[in-house]
Structure 1
Amino acid sequence: MSEFSTELKRVFDENGIKIYPFAEGTGLDRTTLQRMNSGKKLPSRQFVKTVLDHLPISTSEREYLEYLFYIEKIGLKAYHRRCAVKDMMENFCELSKSMTESSYRRKIDFSIEPSEERKWITPILMEVDMIDTLRYMVIDAFNSMKEVHIYLNNFNHSFYIMQQLIQENSKSNKKVFCHQLVNLQRNIHSNLGDGGIRNVEVLKNAIPFLVAFKGEYDLRYSYGSVDENYLGSMIWPNYVISQSKVLLISSDEKSGLLIEDEEIASSYRKEVCRIQKDCKPLFSFVGRDNEVVSYLLRELSQKKFTYAFSQSVSIPELVYNEMVKRDFDGVEIIRSYLGSYNHVKTKNSEKLMTIHGMYGMKKFTQTGLLPGFYENYVGAYSKEARIRMIHDYANYIRESGNTYLLKEEPSSEETLIEFNLFDQNGVYICISHDQEYIACVYVEESETYDILVDYLHSLIDEEKVYSKEESANKFIEKCMNYMENQGG
């Protein structure tokens, strides 16, 4: 028997629940229930949900049973991979336009002054000393160099380097450059393995840094095995290099050597730069605000995309039939964007799969103002126009044949996440806050593409979205409820 079936049988036995009466009371198939409890067959997710809904168990017990079910259904690696993507998206939701240089993840109240008594080579023997030394290297670089260049690979404590770079940069007018080499993982034989999680973790850490950091961030990648930090092993397991210092860090990040010599630092920098030449930039595009619209018009309109995810509806589809009834003089950016969207839509085949949420629709149904940057260019629509637009959009969902509506309501009406997947290797991720784009990147890396495709399919498999048939009707129902319940 599987661990899921064993645990479920224990719950049945401890509560004196018999298969036949339980099946009759819940309307579930008795044979399927019996085979599930005996470990002979794993039923559908909906079947298991109904079983758990009728069991006298606590929330934690239910979560544990759901965890065991998913582990058996999709495997441990796939489960953790999907959790990693979900965690990344929740992390993006915490980003905000108000994020400043001194508030990357948490406020930093740390300062250390360089000391003339420091030795040429200083052993670092404790983790707390390691963290202090990481910050010391950044502060020293700002105090002693006209331009600040920091080179590092990807390790857990590199977070402290990023923190200190942001804090010091906020107090200085110096040019600051962060050069980071990361080790990504290829998926073997088209199977999504542990490497996909590593790639997602890199994005989760890098994009918030992009938002808060005002200097130049050069992030490059290479591939290695799951158990080998390939890039780091060419120099040291982990390293941080400035113009005058080198910090070599052990694989467990608890010990290391600080070398304070400009010639040695120069030699290490040359080696890192040599490796860097063979590494491709992870981000083909980084932009904010109007840069994003220009990039969409210039680059993405020429590409073919096969998957689209957004917590918002497709605004071009929402306004398309109404645009001929509105005066768009003086808002060429809207005309261009809608024209670009139409070009992309025409170019894409019926294979395009779209998943979207209801972000911004509550505000739209109440006020007539479009979500996102459109509000800056287009005035409010009348209630009659809103109702037409809602029904037109529902028809678009029906006609597309491959569009799904997220069941979960948006947790925030301020922060929006969307990503499009292009041509088997392109990933476009955009996070906007309070109607402005705060972080947009384009990544050309096939393994990241694969793991996000898997995540989108998991939303359908796990019934986190309404079916194709339900989505259009649910969209209308939710919008009408917004109007009726909120006085729209």
Structure 2
Amino acid sequence: MSKFSEKCKEILKENGTNVYQLAIHASLERTTLQRMVTGKRLPPLGFLKSFCQALRLSKFEEEELFELYRIESMGEDAYRNEQSILHLLSHLRKLEEKDSFYNTKITSIQYQNMDLLSNTSSNIYDTELLMQYILKKEFSNDTEGFIYTNLPGTYESFLHSLELFYRQFQKKLCVHHLIHFQINSSLSSENLDMMHSVLLLYISNKLDYQVFYYYSRLNKNDILYMCFPYYIITSRHVLLMSSDFKMGIILSEKDIIKQYIHTFRKNCSLAAPLFQKISNLQGSMSIYKTDSIPSKSDIHYFHYQPCYVDLVGEQGIMERIKNFLPEFYEIGKQLVQSIIFKSNFPNLCFFSEQGLKEFCCTGKYYGQIGTFFPPLTVEERIEALKYFQSAPTFHNNRMIKESCSISFPKHLYFELLGTTSLQIIRIENLEIMDFITIEESSICEAFYHFFQTLQSSKYVYSAEETYSLISQCIDKLTQQS
């Protein structure tokens, strides 16, 4: 029996009824109910809702049961991947709301003078103090300095300490991070969680932060048998850390540090960079327009708002580039042609109901090329929405309901090419633009399955519903004009 069917059986027992009695009193099909409780077959979603209503389940109980239903219908691995991606999106949006990505005037957090009382530790707290000691020494160093480590990307204390010392010293230190990914596809959610943690620091641009990865079959139990599997290397110290972070040893001998540095750099040369980034408009456009698309691949887009080109058309966007970015006219023309070319491939574009509403209210655009142009007037918004409705690619769009739990970062958008390349584009203005590419297979495949599942989920409006809601927006704007 599955966890879902066991939960259904438990609920029946707690409510003092059984399959036969509930089928009669609630007019539920008895065979379907019996198969659901015994784990032989999943019922339709509507049947499960009737089951919950008949037993007058609380909202908490309903949510728990529907979560188990979703796990059973998707598979546990796919569900874990989905939750990891949703968590990432939510975290990115919260960071935007706090202005953490773009705020350069950050209040410093002053540490008291830290003296090294012992070069060893025997508990988690003291090991963190050793870590903070060597990190502070490196940040306060008059030379440029560096930090090399193989700590798990999910070890939050390290990433948090880097953030705090950056705030104090405002020093863009070189940090190289070597992480291991699970080669077992059933553990890809661990890779997603790892990517999630390091991406947040990488995208902040606060440090010269580079992440390298390699594949390993090591699991948590294997690592427990290693004495000191983790390390942090600086120009002055090496901190060795146990697998549970309860023990630490600081090494300060120059010859030992030199050997660790040499070995680490060699290991990084054998690993692969997790992220590749271009951080200027012309460079990003050049990469985007030359990006190759695998044959017979579909393309998925995940935007806060509908695609700008779908709203204003090729001619409209070229006029705006000519008027507001004349120095980028030629490369902008090639960029638009690349977008039009990509639209010929099977694709899905997800955007948010909230983003559509904000566009209708303000005419302002976020996270795409429209960021560079002034907001559209009311009349231009009406024309853009009508153009969007009549576009041949309209059926490729899926609008995510505002009432669901999916977060959309405003200044980021995601583009997935088949299962081979995930691109995260961050645009705020001409000074702040990042074009990040991830080509690690387990991450790309997880996003692909996430988008495939999302298109038929309860979170998404149908094409007919989307068309109707846009018509309502047009009517409201017409009344304003």
Give me the TM-score of the superposition, normalised by structure 1.
0.82
Report sequence identity in percent. Answer: 21
Any conservation in 2 of the 1:146–1:174 contact (CA below 8 Å)? no
Match of 1:205 in 2: 197
Q: Deviations over 1:125-169 (max 9, x none)?
A: 011111111111111123345121111113268533333334434
Q: Distance in 2 between matches of 1:380 and 1:144?
A: 50
Q: Distance in 1 between matches of 2:79 and 2:419?
A: 23
Deviation at 1:237, TM superposition (A): 1.1
Structure 1: segments with no counterpart, 5+ residues: none
2:63 is equivalent to residue 63 of structure 1: yes
Q: Distance in 2 between matches of 1:434 and 1:15?
A: 62
2:397 is equivalent to residue 403 of structure 1: yes
Match of 1:89 in 2: 89
Deviation at 1:21, TM superposition (A): 4.1
Q: Distance in 2 between matches of 1:44 and 1:434?
A: 47
Any conservation in 2 of the 1:306–1:352 contact (CA below 8 Å)? yes
Q: Distance in 2 between matches of 1:185 and 1:171?
A: 35
Q: Distance in 1 between matches of 2:69 and 2:231?
A: 41
Match of 2:341 in 1: 346
Which residue of 374, 377, 381 corresponds with 1:378?
374
Any conservation in 1 of the 2:278–2:284 contact (CA below 8 Å)? no
Match of 2:174 in 1: 177
Q: Distance in 1 between matches of 2:109 and 2:454?
A: 41
SS in 2 for 1:308: strand
Q: Distance in 1 between matches of 2:135 and 2:245?
A: 18
Match of 2:127 in 1: 130
Q: Deviations over 1:343-397 (max 9, x none)?
A: 23324544223222234322332244444563542353233x422321321233x
Amino acid at match of 1:299: I
Any conservation in 2 of the 1:108–1:163 contact (CA below 8 Å)? no
Q: Deviations over 1:313-361 (max 9, x none)?
A: 1011111177289675343347854652332332454422322223432
Any conservation in 2 of the 1:154–1:238 contact (CA below 8 Å)? yes
Q: Distance in 1 between matches of 2:103 and 2:237?
A: 24
Deviation at 1:70, TM superposition (A): 2.2
Amino acid at match of 2:71: I
Worse-matched range after superposition: 306-315 or 425-434: 425-434
Q: Distance in 1 between matches of 2:70 and 2:267?
A: 41
Provide closer, same or farther for how the CA distance between residues 326 and 155 of structure 1 changes in structure 2, counting only shifts above 3 A: closer
Provide closer, same or farther for how the CA distance between residues 212 and 329 of structure 1 changes in structure 2, counting only shifts above 3 A: closer
Any conservation in 1 of the 2:241–2:249 contact (CA below 8 Å)? yes
Worse-matched range after superposition: 203-212 or 452-461: 203-212
Q: Distance in 1 between matches of 2:439 and 2:395?
A: 28
Any conservation in 1 of the 2:78–2:446 contact (CA below 8 Å)? no
Q: Distance in 1 between matches of 2:103 and 2:381?
A: 42
Q: Deviations over 1:71-106 (max 9, x none)?
A: 3222322222211111111111122283279999x9
Which residue of 271, 288, 304 corresponds with 1:300?
288
Deviation at 1:54, TM superposition (A): 5.3
Deviation at 1:449, TM superposition (A): 0.5
RMSD: 3.8
SS in 2 for 1:241: strand
Structure 2: segments with no counterpart, 5+ residues: none
Any conservation in 2 of the 1:222–1:231 contact (CA below 8 Å)? no
Match of 1:98 in 2: 99
Give matches, 1:328-367, under 5 Å. Answer: 328-332=322-326, 333=328, 336-337=331-332, 339-347=334-342, 349-367=344-362
Q: Deviations over 1:261-314 (max 9, x none)?
A: 222111111111111111111111153xxx2x4344211222326222223210
Q: Distance in 2 between matches of 1:369 and 1:203?
A: 31
Worse-matched range after superposition: 370-379 or 298-307: 370-379
Q: Deviations over 1:416-450 (max 9, x none)?
A: 44211125321111345699856642112121110
